[in-house]
Amino acid sequence: MTLLAFNKPFNCLSQFTPEPDSPAATLADWIDFPGVYPAGRLDRDSEGLLLLTDDGRLQARLADPKHKLAKVYLAQVEGEIDAAALAALRAGVTLKDGPTRSAGAERVEEPDWLWPRNPPVRYRKSVPTSWVQLTLREGRNRQVRRMTAHVGFPTLRLVRVAVGPYRLDDLRPGEWRVIDG
């Protein structure tokens, strides 16, 4: 069994094959390790920890929400996120596809270890930003972005830092490492 931790860069698809007419990079542009496949997904415009494995059962366990592995995200949001928005995120919000489970949500400072995004997040002098750490135990399409927008603080940048016991640690964008099992 092989398990890789990969720091997926911005504008990279969570797949090895390109999409027609898409300029986005793929995992094949970064990972030269045959036989591994992503366990879960990150959107093209999200960054951070993506796990890959050659073990189908492990892949299912890591990706399937019924196993309730905590996924930890750092989100830069538009505006100064407040206690009411954080409380709503913690309680769970109702999106178009139904209510979300309760989530861990706390305001944090921008991490000093975080790399600059390329291209940078749009800067507007009149609109401040803040950071929130979210811990989810489900994985809907674009869930973090939809949740923060629902409480009035749209996500500008999203970085996944952990999946269950696996952490991004010091991997830089585009770097990967084998995790000893």
The verdict on 129 and 84 lying in the same domain is yes
CATH of the domain at 149: 3.30.70.1560
Q: Which two tokens stand for residue 83?
A: 């206690």
pLDDT, residue 103, reads: 94
pLDDT, residue 181, reads: 58
Q: Which two tokens stand for residue 103?
A: 């989530």
CATH of the domain at 34: 3.30.70.580
The verdict on 60 and 123 lying in the same domain is no
The verdict on 51 and 97 lying in the same domain is no
d(CA 135, CA 90): 9
Compute the Cα dihedral for 120, 125, 127, 132 and give only its sign: positive
Q: Catalytic residues, which ones?
A: 43
d(CA 52, CA 5): 7
Q: What is the mean pLDDT of each run of 10 residues along the chain (181 residues)?
A: 96 94 93 94 95 92 80 97 98 95 96 91 85 93 95 97 95 94 58
pTM across the whole model: 0.94
| Phi, psi dihedrals of residue 50, rounded to the nearest 5° | -130, 130
Domain with 125 in it = 70-163
Q: Are 10 and 117 in contact (CB under 8 A)?
A: yes
Q: Are 154 and 77 in contact (CB under 8 A)?
A: yes
The verdict on 87 and 125 lying in the same domain is yes
Nearest residue to 6 via CA among 35, 58, 41: 41
pLDDT, residue 63, reads: 81
